[in-house]
Amino acid sequence: MSKNILIISTSLRFNSNSDLLAQSFEKGALEAGHLVERVTLRDKTIQFCKGCLSCVKTQKCVIHDDVNEIVDKMKEANVLVFSTPIYYYEMCGQMKTLLDRANPLFNADYKFRDIYFIASAAENGDHVWAKAVNGLEGWIDCFEKSHLSGVVFAGGVTDPGEIQGHQSLKRAFEMGKNIRQERRYSMKTMDKKVFDEQNVFGLGQPNDAFAQYFIGNSYLNGLTNPKECGLALANVTFEPGCRNNWHIHHATSGGGQILICTAGVGWYQEEGKDPVELKPGVVVVIPPEVKHWHGAKKDSWFSHIAFEAPGENTSNEWCEPVDDEAYLAL
């Protein structure tokens, strides 16, 4: 599915290095079939946020300048890309002002989920852009449905256009081209509404029958009628922090359980082994007689389809809960 991508290029100079990076990102995204709009702040009038906070109630800014149109576009985009020159190891002032002025979006039904950061600077090294990304992440933290999906940095470029031939241009192109793939693998979310969109096999009902063997709330959505097809498939959803107790699937032959991860991110752990990250597309074959647990990460909803592998004399042994300290340290 193509995405609506808004690239905001914040350098004010002509033949800007960070803008050339943004243009490469744009070419990659267009090649992948996305809808892309690139706006530059070069010709825009932008005033500082006054801090009146009336936008929290009205979702409109009291200042009437060129920001309002950009903020409207930000609200509708699925992907936001910010490009900036590094100024004193930070994002440039006009980008920071734009982020402040985007405050009317705070309570709004904004659509952006993936955010990319693009920067250029005279010096090389991670320390040159780290504080700028940190600043942007502060903003992203306040827009909980979104997350930082990628960073491209070009160091060692000072004069306008000096970036020509720089390897970072290719990286920006590839990042633009691969937006869809990255999105598929970043489904961690605390936001129930966002998770519900991902959880295509449905939440179902509270899992009351097994609640005593779970920490936190889980839900069960039966997908098949075992009387008709002989196999009971159910989508199991775990709220953030929810996991089942250690347990063992017994069988005299065959048996065990299969998990097909469908939404969000979680954990699976066998006794004596390191935990394995669960995300959509991962399939776990749990052998019989192996003590294990599974559930959500502490900071994400998670769901998987579960079904018992056919076997003889199958039964389930529930053991102790997963230790809080060990779980929270994951």
Ligand X SMILES: Cc1cc2nc3c(=O)[nH]c(=O)nc-3n(C[C@H](O)[C@H](O)[C@H](O)COP(=O)(O)O)c2cc1C
Which residues here bind ligand X, judged by CB under 6 A? Answer: 11, 13, 16-19, 85-89, 120-123, 128, 157-158, 160
Query: Quick one: 115 or 121, whose CB is closer to ligand X?
Result: 121
The secondary element (H helix, E strand) that includes residue 136 is helix 126-142
Query: Quick one: 88 or 329, whose CB is closer to ligand X?
Result: 88
Query: Quick one: 67 or 86, whose CB is closer to ligand X?
Result: 86
How many angstroms separate the CA atoms of 135 and 143, rounded? 13
Q: Are 119 and 81 in contact (CB under 8 A)?
A: no
Look-up: residue for tokens 């241009």? 169
Closest CB 160 distance from ligand X, rounded Å = 5
Measured CA to CA in angstroms, residue 46 lies from 22, 38, 63, 84, 128 at distances of 21, 17, 9, 16, 26
Closest CB 125 distance from ligand X, rounded Å = 9
Closest CB 13 distance from ligand X, rounded Å = 5
Query: Quick one: 90 or 270, whose CB is closer to ligand X?
Result: 90
Closest CB 25 distance from ligand X, rounded Å = 13
Query: Quick one: 120 or 303, whose CB is closer to ligand X?
Result: 120
Q: Are 243 and 324 in contact (CB under 8 A)?
A: no
Closest CB 110 distance from ligand X, rounded Å = 26
Point out the residue whose Cβ comes nearest to ligand X: 85
Closest CB 217 distance from ligand X, rounded Å = 48
Closest CA to 75 of 49, 109, 99: 109
Look-up: residue for tokens 């992948």? 32
The secondary element (H helix, E strand) that includes residue 4 is strand 4-9
Residue 72: what are its φ and ψ, rounded to 5°?
Answer: -60, -40
